[in-house]
Structure 1
Amino acid sequence: MNVISQKTQQSFSEFYTSYLTDHTDRTSRQLHFFGSTLSIICLTLLALSGNVGWLFAAIASFYGFAWMGHFQFEKNRPRSFKQPVYSFLGAWLMYWQMLTGQISF
């Protein structure tokens, strides 16, 4: 029998509500925003140059700054370790909401 935990069966909406509770520290949110912005810049440079090194820089900046926020400021474990897809989507939704002023920096 294949057992799937209740945590992985939740909807994205349910996940995102709890995801935000792991991002209450302002500095952590700022690090997430900076890392995401930097990853967009790296992906743009990848598209312009064709240099695959920019892809690795995009991944490193996206996750590196976010994880720094979790370990140093939130004092919690990133959800990307257990739910990578929802966590990736949640990070971009949170980015959009910060960009549009729905969530404070």
Structure 2
Amino acid sequence: MSAVTPQRTFSSFAEFYPYYLEEHSNPACRRLHYVGSLLVLGVLGYVLFTQKWLLLLALPVIGYGFAWVGHFVFEKNRPATFKHPLYSFMGDWVMLKDGLTGRIPF
């Protein structure tokens, strides 16, 4: 019988973010998140410029695809998105900002 880890609860994003960073301790995983997030921004800019709205459907695949490869291949954990979708989405963008500004290792 396998042990089941109880789901952690968080009362704020500020409380969640340190946990989020723990779940992204592997540099390769973080970099894949950064690539996915930057590609999402690039595709979004392209869509707004060209008005090819159907490409918006690709955004979740691009963003989550890179991130999930990072988790399953490098971190060997389940993405926090599965249990904390809103905070995880916010965490992706804060982590990108923190990586680009040098607050956390790129």
Partners of 1:45 and 1:54 within 8 A in 2:
no
Aligned to 1:69: 70
TM-score by length of 2: 0.88
Amino acid of the structure 2 residue aligned with 1:91? D
Structure 1 position 103 matched with structure 2 position 79 = no
Ranges in structure 1 where 5+ consecutive residues have no aligned partner: none
Deviation at residue 77 of structure 1 after TM alignment: 0.3
Structure 1 stretches of at least 4 aligned residues deviating more than 4 Å after TM superposition: none
Shift of 1:57: 2.1
How far apart are 1:51 and its partner, in Å?
A: 1.2
Q: Structure 1 residue 71: deviation in Å?
A: 0.4
TM-score (norm: length of structure 1): 0.89
**Aligned match of 2:27:** 26
Q: Return 5+ residue gaps in structure 2 as ranges.
A: 1-5
**Aligned ranges 1:1-105 → 2 under 5 Å:** 7-105=8-106
For residues 31-58 of structure 1, what are the alpha-carbon distances to aligned partners after superposition, in whole Å with 9 as ceiling and x for unaligned?
A: 0000000000010011011112321222
The number of equivalent residue pairs is 101
Equivalent residue, structure 1, for 2:3: none
Q: Residue type of the partner of 2:70?
A: G
**Aligned sequence identity (%):** 47
